[in-house]
Amino acid sequence: MIKSGEKMDVSTTFGIWSLLPPIIAIGLALWTRQVFLALGVGIWFGYFILAGGHPLVGTLATINSFVTVLTDPDNARLVIFSVVIGPLIALVQRSGGVEGFVDHILKYLLRVSKKHEDKGNRKIVETFALMTGLALFIETNISLFTVGTLYRPVFDELKIPREKLAYITDSTSAPSNILMPFNAWGAFILGLLATAGIDKSQTLEVLVKSIAYNFYPILTFLLIFVVIWSGKDVGDMKKAEDRARTTGKVLRDGAVPMMDDSVSMLEAVEGVPQRAINMVIPIVAMVVLMPTFLIYTGWQEAVTVAATEVGKSSVDQISGLALTWSALQKGSGSSAVLYAVTFAIFVAMILYRIQGIMKITEMVDLSVKAMAGMVNVAILAVLAFSLNAMCNDLGTGLFVAEVFDGTIPAAFIPALIFVIAAFIGFSTGTSWGTFSIMIAVAVPLAGKVDDVNLYMSIAAALGGGVFGDHCSPTSDTTIIASMATANDHIDHVRTQIPYALIAGMGTVIMYLVLGLLGV
């Protein structure tokens, strides 16, 4: 990791060639709407470059890369999680819990609106989805799956296009996580700040102060409110809204939902009472278990660190709250999500068996079928991981950062950091990978150039990574948002980009204005 005052060495990168694979993958995905083909071609081209132009070696390296990425435990857990989430969704739907929840929402809408089809219903439901996404700031995947699963049937009932649900779901997950330091994202960023040269005792203070300058997620939230309550849409989203309003179709003709119909279109068991509690209890269990397992997976390391810093004899004197907070920061996010979903499935099975809704054998058979319906998602996750690993080998992110790391007027540095981070996030499809690169650039750059606001520079690096992540079809959060809402992935990307660009341009303008004012 680069330290303050050091300059990155790009001799190990492939220069301008390192930009071609992600550009090819993203361009093909947006043009052909065939994301599997696009990712495959982009990955192959990258390993073709790494192999020195040898097609056979590049092809073999491409095949091997799909195996290699799964040797990373975090990657393997996310792939398994992508498959295991299917049974939870299927069981909740089959139990009648989803229909019960939808019924409660619709009854509420009837109480607060004069007409069942009034536009006010749409605004209220969309606002509920938005607020749910903001509240679940503990982890992006939990936010994505909870909002997508809970509100998809309600949106369908009101003929709101899946594209709109995917936009709200995606645009409230990462932004809410990046603005709250008390989660896995915050812990990761605190570690990056420490390795970039900021004193460990000051990293939390620096991160908290940077939140006020993180304009992209803030503007994203404000824009969603404006879109919901004004009813004004742009680009392909406007076309999607027109289609849903005139034809009642929540998906365009020819769309390929990320989630198989066997998972997304299940009906409740015949004759079973439709109780919202059959959905609420498993989902709440999943949400509550997430921080619980974060603490569990990080507890031993927290105790070890405490023993090293204060001495083994003094560990017992440290408050349980302090150790819990430390464990929450050090816990494994990928493990916690996987454990939480698995236990939520067990909770659902026990709950439904007690009520006599389904037998154990029926639930097991349903779970196996549901997992089969998630295979496309697992494959897509492997492809995305492989592309990210290949970009890292090519030095794509480091090359982009180095190109712009020169003599720059102080007023333009935060805006430029945001643009570079956005491009890296878009190219690589990973916000955390972008943070790793750009924090190592932003902190030293702010230290080397006089009159540069350190907090604004850090915020620009973080916000730019989230912006690029929102626009990239290879981003894991974008992919999961499409899956959770059972939406066509490229349709989601195409409809979300205009809104991300509006918030992104507003962010750049604010950084330029504040920079010129000398803030």
DSSP class of residue 314 equals G
Among 159, 161, 160, 153, residue whose Cα is nearest residue 89: 153
Cα 438 to Cα 2: distance, rounded to the nearest angstrom: 10
Amino acid letter for position 443:
V
C-alpha–C-alpha distance, residues 114 and 112, integer Å: 7
Residue 361 exposure: Cα atoms within 13 Å on the Cβ side: 0
For residue 56, the model assigns a pLDDT of 93
Q: CA–CA separation, 247 vs 225, rounded Å?
A: 26
Q: Would you tell me how many other CB atoms lie within 10 Å of the CB of residue 261? A: 10
> pLDDT at position 376, please?
73
What backbone torsions phi and psi does residue 488 show, to the nearest 5 degrees?
-65, 125
Residue 244: is it exposed, middle or buried by C-beta count within 10 angstroms (0-12/13-18/19+)? buried
- Give the list of residues 6+ apart from residue 282 with CB closer than 8 angstroms, or none: 88, 91, 92, 97, 344, 345, 347, 348, 351
pLDDT (tens place) for every residue of the chain, 519 residues total: 233 333 334 445 677 888 888 778 767 766 775 767 887 888 899 999 998 889 999 999 999 988 888 888 877 887 887 788 788 878 888 888 877 877 777 677 666 655 545 566 788 889 888 988 887 776 676 678 778 877 888 888 888 999 999 999 999 988 888 887 766 577 667 766 776 667 766 777 788 889 999 999 999 999 999 999 988 899 899 999 999 888 988 888 888 787 654 454 567 788 888 888 998 899 888 878 878 888 888 888 887 877 776 655 555 556 677 778 778 777 776 788 788 889 999 999 999 999 999 999 999 999 998 888 778 767 877 887 787 678 778 877 667 656 655 556 778 889 988 998 888 788 777 777 677 667 767 776 676 666 778 899 899 989 999 998 888 887 878 888 888 888 888 899 999 999 999 999 999 999 999 988 887
| Single-letter amino acid, residue 467 | F
Q: Fill in the amino acid letter for 373.
A: G
- 221 Cβ contact partners less than 8 Å away, ≥ 6 residues apart: 130, 134, 171, 172, 175
Q: Dig out the tokens for 300 from the structure.
A: 């031993």
159 three-state secondary structure: coil
Contact 82, 385 (CB under 8 A): no
- Enumerate helices (H) and strands (E) in the chain, giving the number of each: 24, 0
pLDDT number for residue 452: 77
Measured CA to CA, the distance from residue 464 to residue 503 in angstroms comes to 11
Q: Of all residues in the chain, what percent are helix, strand and coil, respectively (each to 5)? A: 80, 0, 20
167 contacts 499 by C-beta, under 8 angstroms: yes
Asked whether the whole model's pTM tops 0.85, one would answer: no
Q: Which residues contact 281 (CB under 8 A, 6 or more apart)?
A: 347, 348, 351
pLDDT at 9: 44
Task: Give the CB-side neighbour count of residue 64, counting CA atoms within 13 A.
Answer: 7
Helix (H, G, I), strand (E, B) or coil at 397: helix
- Looking at the DSSP bridge assignments, the partners of residue 257 are 488
Cβ contact 138:185 at 8 Å: no
Closest CA to 496 of 277, 260, 170, 226: 170
Find, among 280, 263, 273, 276, the residue nearest to 357 by Cα. Answer: 273
Interatomic CA distance for residues 206 and 73, integer angstroms? 30
* Burial of residue 457, with CB atoms counted within 10 A of its CB: 0-12 exposed, 13-18 middle, 19 or more buried: buried
* Those residues with Cβ within 8 angstroms of residue 29's Cβ, 6 or more apart along the chain or in another chain: 35, 38, 39, 473, 474, 490, 493
Residue 488's DSSP bridge partners are: 257
Residues 6+ apart with CB under 8 A from 381: 75, 78, 79, 82, 476, 479
Rounded CA-CA distance 135/59 in Å is: 45
User: What is the CA angle 280-283-288, rounded to 5?
Assistant: 115
Q: Tell me how far apart the alpha carbons of residues 219 and 224 are, in angstroms, rounded to a whole number.
A: 9
HSE-up of residue 106 (Cα within 13 Å, Cβ side): 16
pLDDT on residue 243: 93
The tokens for 445 are 């750059």
